[in-house]
Amino acid sequence: MVGKLFIGLMSGTSLDGVDVALVEFNTFNNPHRPPHVIQTHFVPYPPALRAQILALQHPTDNELEITALAGNQLARLYANAVNALLTKQALSSSNISAIGCHGQTIRHQPGFKDGTGFTLQIGNAALLSELTGITVVSDFRSRDIAAGGQGAPLVPAFHQAVFSHPQKNRILVNIGGIANLTYLPKTDDVLNAVIGFDSGPGNMLMDYWTKLHLNQDYDTNGQWASTGLVLDRLLADMLAEPYFALPPPKSTGRDLFHAGWLKQHLLYPHLRPQDVARTLVELTAETIFQAIVNTSLAVDEVYLCGGGAHNTLLTARLKDKLGNIPLTTTEALGMGVDWVEAIAFAWLAKQTLEGKTSSLPEVTGAKGARILGAIYPH
């Protein structure tokens, strides 16, 4: 190994578990070489922890204590995942420069009430450092929010560093619980900047509906939804959500797109569950497509990543909507669809330790680029 090793941890709005990526960054002969992914690992959330985190998305009794203890539990889960990865690779904690830990978002409210707002990701980074013996970088969103930004999405800076092309305008779409996109102008384009924002629900509402009716965590390949029909009136009602019409910079999450949001639209009699499932797929596809169209910029190719990239019904609908614009996944760029964000947080930790900025003010709306993250040294 000729580079420095970092570990990225990502647990997103899908609340399915934590993605772990061990990444080597070459800092010697070619600092611009793409990161080398040595090993990946996924640890699912225990059902009780997932239910607890889901409940914390909204005000509840004794939430300060519950949040703190859930953060401790997450730190132990993260630490077990990291230590298992190190054992598998015959590495020790001293071989790792740092862990970049996004944490689990509980609330994300930029600009809320006082104009600054707040964001909260739990995971007790101090305990994680103690349990692994590794420096931890966490709390990446807060500095951008303090600078007047949305605090999200944070991954576009990584996309720019790794996936930009000299002659092609690319869009990367990450379909997790929430879907977000990054517009990457070709590198010799001096007129257009990187654009990144959350388009709306990704898998979140689809997964909720599948769990409610099938008691499955997700609808594999959209098979169940494929048996239903799009309910045009329901789709139109959901598309009338004001968030979709907001210009970027913007970000969202479970604070808006939760079960209650869906239920307030399900006011029609005799709705078949599979028809609602099919309509939710269409909602995700249409809002992603409209987000791409609304950039009003030339697009040469689109790449998908995140769990939604596995949903063949969803990807087929996106292909239909995009027409002649080629659509594939980040696998074609050498990066697995399930690991892009975990790799990105390894990169974000590296940027922080090197004293380099990793936010894009043109994406988040902040007053300027900032060095992100809080460091818990070991």
- Taking only the tens place, the pLDDT of each residue in 172-182 is 999 999 999 99
Per-residue pLDDT at 33: 66
Among 54-63, 158-167, 279-288, 300-309, which stretch is predicted with the lowest mean pLDDT? 54-63
**245 and 149 share one domain:** no
The average pLDDT across 34-48 equals: 93
pLDDT given at position 32 = 55
Q: Which residues of 301-323 are buried (b: 16+ CB within 10 A; e: fewer)?
A: bbbbbbbbbbbebbbbbbeebbe
pLDDT at residue 190 greater than cutoff 90: no
Check if the beta carbon of residue 106 is closer than 8 Å to that of residue 71.
Answer: no
Token look-up 């517009």 returns 183
Q: Which residues contact 229 (CB under 8 A, 6 or more apart)?
A: 275, 278
Closest CA to 184 of 288, 285, 295: 295
Residue 185, Cβ neighbours under 10 Å: how many? 20
Q: Are 194 and 328 within one domain?
A: yes
pLDDT of residue 60: 86
Domain that holds residue 304: 156-333
Mean pLDDT to the nearest integer, 66-85: 97
Stretch 25-39: mean pLDDT: 73
DSSP 8-state symbol, 161: H
3-state helix, strand, coil in the chain (%, to 5): 40, 20, 40
**300 and 262 housed in the same domain:** yes
User: Mean pLDDT across the stretch 61-90?
Assistant: 96
Residues 124, 66 share a domain: yes
369 and 246 housed in the same domain? no
pLDDT in tens, 361-371: 999 999 999 99
Are 149 and 24 in the same domain?
A: yes
76 lies in the same domain as 214: no
Number of residues in the chain: 378
Provide the domain count of the chain: 2
Query: What three-state secondary structure class fits 114?
Result: coil
Check residue 306 and give its pLDDT. 97
Residues 216 and 139 in one domain: no
pLDDT at 322 over 90: yes
pLDDT over 60 (residue 28): no
pLDDT tens across 229-276, in order? 999 999 999 999 999 999 999 999 999 999 999 999 999 889 999 999
pLDDT single digits (tens) 91-143: 999 999 999 999 999 999 999 999 999 999 999 999 999 999 999 999 999 99
Residues 276 and 214 in one domain: yes
pLDDT band at 344 (very low <50, low <70, confident <90, very high): very high
Identify the pLDDT of residue 124: 98
Q: What is the mean pLDDT of residues 341-354?
A: 97
Same domain? For 24 and 64 the reply is yes
Mean pLDDT of the chain: 95
| Residue 191, pLDDT score | 81
pLDDT at 330: 97
pTM for the model stands at: 0.95
Instruction: Supply the pLDDT for residue 30.
Output: 55
In the sheet where 4-10 sits, what is the strand order? Answer: 36-44, 17-25, 4-10, 96-101, 136-138, 374-376
Q: Residue 29 above 70 pLDDT?
A: no
Residue 2 — pLDDT band, cuts 50, 70, 90?
A: low
CATH number at residue 22: 3.30.420.40
Residue 289 and residue 175 in one domain: yes
**Residues of the chain with pLDDT > 70: what percent?**
98
pLDDT the model gives residue 27: 57
pLDDT for 3: 73
Q: Is residue 279 located within the same domain as residue 358? A: no
